[in-house]
Chain A
Amino acid sequence: MIKRVEINYRGIFQKTLAKRIGGDIVMIAARMGQVGFSNGRYSDAPERNGIPCKYFAFVSPDLSEEELEAECGAKLDIDEANISVVLDDTMVKGVEPWAWHGVRPINEKVVPYGYMLVVSRRRPEDLVRFMARKPYPYYLAILEGDASFAGLWVYRDDLTHERVLGALAALDPQLLSIEAVKGYLWDKTHEEHRVEAAQKAYESVRHNVHEVTPLQGIDWPYEIPKLPKWHEFSEGVVVKAVPREFHLGPKGQSRNQLFKRGTTKSQRPVVRFDLCTKCTLCWLECPDQCFDPTPDGYYDVDYEYCVGCGKCAEVCPVQECIVMVDELAFEDNRSPWEHWKRDPEGYIRWAEEKKGTHRVLPNVVTGTGQRVVEAEPVPVGGKPKPAARAGA
């Protein structure tokens, strides 16, 4: 028997976290007399900010290491997952690591009655409504928490690593027992708070497991591309360029249809067009050319292509004009500018509701993690004020 655990994470911020979880699954399973090994999906390029990637751990109670390696080693991806860990809940909207992979459902590999373990502060139904319908039941477990950056050395440890190990013990005690998790963490660190974090996660996740039936979820809207045979594409790897087209308005610029990269984002920019001074900085600075100039001099956002890097919000000189908001707050990728033109007041109410009352300051290395401050909302008809700069 082989237990396959996949850890879905976002590059680059969660790469080390995912690797440590995968490695520790093997170490703890070994304490329980099992064999295992761990690897990352080599085809990933997890250095890309936010890109969906995978790490794996394989454990067997009865196979030899040689047989386990033969089944699971030297493979790029797994065919099925007994447990699929999701370290950033915004990935439930789908994952697209490369061109030609298509936007894949996050639960693609989960087996019947297998587990999805999602780190999230959302309710299960708020996650399932983005996920693909599967023909069989499986379980959704939620480990309450935020998408952790703690694997990156500039961010403070938030114990997500220990908590995920505790949560896995809650889902499959044969894979990892909570005693083995705690014993391992204590022997490795001699830090009681790490053992406690695993224990608490173990207890909370046991009461946060929900069956997902074949009736739940959505019909997956994305097609998976079919790779051409060797004689079906141009020699010399020559690709027809995207014809350069431009008109003012939403989607007025031609873009690559084969790799939209929108699943890279965990946040999206919400624009208060009524505060915009048309300074052009978002349009100029966006590394992915996601801002489309409009006939009235504003800049619409093409969310299909936005990777959520936050550069626009960082350079916007107007307070509250561009704010990054959790991607799971949004149902679709429709044009915000069209929405605003159609219903200016309604759009601003909608935008402010999405923005909520907390603001994460543009990412700066503080050693203490993200800085969150209270919003200073600007009412409809309010005047633009200069943005407070990080570090100012």
Chain B
Amino acid sequence: MAVAQPVGVYEREDLLTGCQAVAEGIRLANVDVIAAYPIRPYTEVMDAISKIIADGKLVAEYIVADSEHSQFEIVKHAASVGARAFAGSSGTGWMYGFEALVVTATDRLPVLFLVGNRALDDPGAFGVEHNDALAIRDMGWLLCWVATAQEALEHVLLGYRIAEDKHVRMPMALAMDGAFLTHSQHIVRIPSQEAVNRFLPPFDLGERRLHPDNPVSIAPQVNEDWVMEIRRQNWEAARRARRVIATAYEEFNQVFGQRYRPPYYFEEFLTDDAEVVLIGMGTVAMPARTAVRRLREQGHRVGYVNLRWFRPFPTEELRESLRRFRAVGVIDRDFAHGAPDDGGVLLHEVRSCLYPVRERPAVVNFITGLGGRDVSIQDAIRMFEITQEAAREDRLDGFVTWVGVRE
């Protein structure tokens, strides 16, 4: 598709890994405070950022913490004084700092975090699995998956734009598949600083900023007299975030050309006349899209839905989209031990989203790609075939299939 490209919006192209693309985003967002603690696959982003600072391309406080817990506390406090802050982690490191993460949400501080997805944590496993980032899903966070390095860079800018919006002010987890995106090099178009400045306003925490000229107390102890009201506030922010997300993409498109299409929260690929679709998050989009093309060449009416925004979940938009199809195959690169029907996390979100629809599509589930296992085009084709079968039979049992497990 040919898109109108405003002149001077992108200043150069470079071969970047997903992590390096995020680092470029951090430079362009002129982040003030970065806290770092190594764990692969996240580590590469801290390397890339420190190099950018060393090269004099970004002036920022770069603090190497003594653990993820300290790392996350540092950026939380940095945000409270009005600094644009960045941190990130993977797998068990992310979990180790969880106390700080949940408080960052209730403190409503819009820090951006990179989660380089990593398995939890059959000793030493460092391949991609989404359970690490998904663990934050109920805690008042924005949670978004990107599938390419270009998207990764752009979602750093979008992430700050959305998280820092005065109607939102929630922390944001930018999730990307370990190895397959964090360490995979692609040509990335790097925006010019001038264009980024037109899109991304400076961070202003307003009356909540902790400063000697604005003395405030943050996070006083609260009890049963307050917690429900605090949750209600957070819920309201998440509701407002749905609108802000759409606005931010529209503004992004105005500056950078038509990069993203509505409804933004997810991206549909060849779904217009589709009978069945797969839906997934992250790099599984790559084999899935190719499978769509190959199957379409054989006359199958299939499509793919790449879900970006997991929190807030785009309930109405996704419901309106998926209700058009006869069957939906949900790809989970995660596992929810002991969950209903032993399905994955995304299955339950999608199925719950579709429940109010009277004539709803059949929903089947695929557990695949766990712990960094690759998902091939052939795997994706098989998932489409099972989903097509579900569309014919509308089966209710045995609809969770493990794809790629040795058996």
Contact = CB atoms under 8 A, between A and B. Distances in A.
A368 interface: no
Contacts, number: 59
B398 interface: no
A381 interface: no
Contacts of B169: 235-236
Interface of A: prevailing SS: loop
A238 interface: yes
A40 to B, nearest CB: 14
Interface in B56-108: 106-108
Interface in A149-170: none
A236 B208 contact: yes
Contact of A244 (B207, B215, B229): B215
B233 A231 contact: yes
A229 B218 contact: no
A98 interface: yes
Interface in B216-239: 216-220, 222-226, 228-230, 232-233, 236-237
A236 to B, nearest CB: 4
How many of chain B's residues touch chain A, expressed as a range?
A: 20 to 34
B373 to A, nearest CB: 40
B174 interface: no
A226 to B, nearest CB: 11
Contacts of A230: 228-230, 232-233, 236
Interface in B147-178: 169
Contact of A236 (B108, B225, B232): B108
B224 A236 contact: no
Contact of A234 (B208, B224, B225): B208
A76 B229 contact: no
Contacts of B215: 240-241, 243-244
B133 interface: no
Contact of A43 (B216, B223, B229): B223
Given A233-B229, A238-B218, A243-B215, A98 B109 contact: no
A340 to B, nearest CB: 34
B229 A238 contact: no
Contacts of B108: 235-236
A119 to B, nearest CB: 28
Nearest to A239: B217
A70 interface: no
A240 B226 CA distance: 17
A250 B16 CA distance: 66
Contact of B233 (A235, A239, A241, A244): A235
Contacts of A241: 215-217
Contacts of A243: 215
A123 B218 CA distance: 47
A20 B357 CA distance: 56
B219 A237 contact: yes
Given A241-B215, A243-B215, A236 B223 contact: no
Interface in B85-143: 106-109
Nearest to A232: B229
Contacts of A234: 207-208
Contacts of A246: none
Contacts of B226: 227, 237
Contact of A229 (B208, B223, B224, B229): B229
Contacts of B229: 228-230, 233
Given A100-B225, A243-B215, A244-B215, A237 B106 contact: yes
A266 B237 CA distance: 45
A235 B216 contact: no
Interface in B175-214: 207-208
A240 B216 CA distance: 4
A53 to B, nearest CB: 13
Contacts of A229: 229
Contacts of B223: 43, 98
Contacts of B220: 237, 239
Nearest to A236: B108
Nearest to A228: B229
Contact of B222 (A228, A237, A240, A244): A237
Given A230-B233, A240-B216, A241-B215, A235 B208 contact: yes
A244 B213 CA distance: 11
Contacts of B228: 230
Given A230-B229, A236-B219, 5 more contacts: A43-B224, A231-B233, A233-B229, A235-B169, A239-B218
20 contacts: A227-B226, A229-B229, A230-B229, A230-B236, A234-B208, A235-B108, A235-B233, A235-B237, A236-B106, A236-B108, A236-B109, A236-B208, A236-B218, A237-B219, A237-B220, A237-B230, A239-B217, A239-B220, A240-B216, A241-B215
Interface of A: 43, 76, 98, 100, 227-231, 233-241, 243-244
Enumerate the 10 nearest inter-chain pairs by beta-carbon distance, A residue then B residue, closest first.
Answer: A241-B215, A236-B108, A230-B229, A230-B232, A239-B217, A238-B208, A236-B107, A235-B108, A238-B216, A235-B233
